[in-house]
């Protein structure tokens, strides 16, 4: 219902919020999902490289981001590493290098830095077909 597939429900859930008008000074480490509507001056990472980070249109981040699934619609100054996927919405402004496995960019989003495509860390074992 409402376009949410069974396997993606946990990926899209937001467990924590840094609200508008809130400013965090220092590094942030989270699990699950984090939405930022305020400002963060420090690095942001998720436990085990998984999780979801949403940087809203009015939000700003000054520091490195290292999260599995990243959605940006605000301002980020610093490098971004998306271990799974990166979505840049139309108001996204990123100043810094971006490393990603999958990327989706909407018209109007801006990146001032290098785009580096990473090969997925997930490996697939291939088996030879038997002649029997």
Check: CB of residue 58 under 8 Å from CB of residue 39. no
Say whether pLDDT at 88 is over 60.
Answer: yes
pTM: 0.82
Instruction: Spell out a b/e string for 10-36, using b for 16 or more CB atoms within 10 Å of the CB, else e.
Output: ebeeeeeebeeeeebeeebebeebbbb
The residue to which tokens 């590493």 are assigned: 81
Q: Tell me the average pLDDT of the chain.
A: 88
Distance, in Å, from the CA atom of 39 to the CA atom of 97, rounded to the nearest integer, reads 20
Band of the pLDDT at 10, cuts 50, 70, 90?
very low
Query: CA separation (Å) from 31 to 13, 54, 68?
Result: 11, 13, 11
Residue 119's pLDDT is: 86
Residue 8: which pLDDT band, with cuts at 50, 70 and 90? very low
């Amino acid at each position: 219902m409402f376009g949410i597939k069974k396997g993606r429900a946990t990926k899209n859930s937001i467990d924590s919020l840094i609200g508008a008008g809130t400013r965090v000074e220092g590094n942030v480490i989270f699990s699950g999902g984090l939405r930022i509507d305020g400002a963060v001056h420090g690095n942001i990472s998720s436990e085990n490289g998984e999780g979801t980070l949403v940087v809203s249109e009015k939000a700003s981040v000054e520091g490195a981001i290292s999260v599995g699934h990243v959605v940006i619609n605000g301002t980020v100054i610093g490098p971004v590493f998306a271990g799974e996927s990166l979505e840049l919405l139309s108001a996204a402004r990123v100043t810094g290098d971006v490393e990603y496995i999958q990327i989706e960019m909407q018209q109007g989003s801006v990146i001032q830095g290098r785009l580096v495509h990473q090969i997925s860390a997930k490996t697939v074992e291939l088996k030879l077909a038997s002649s029997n």
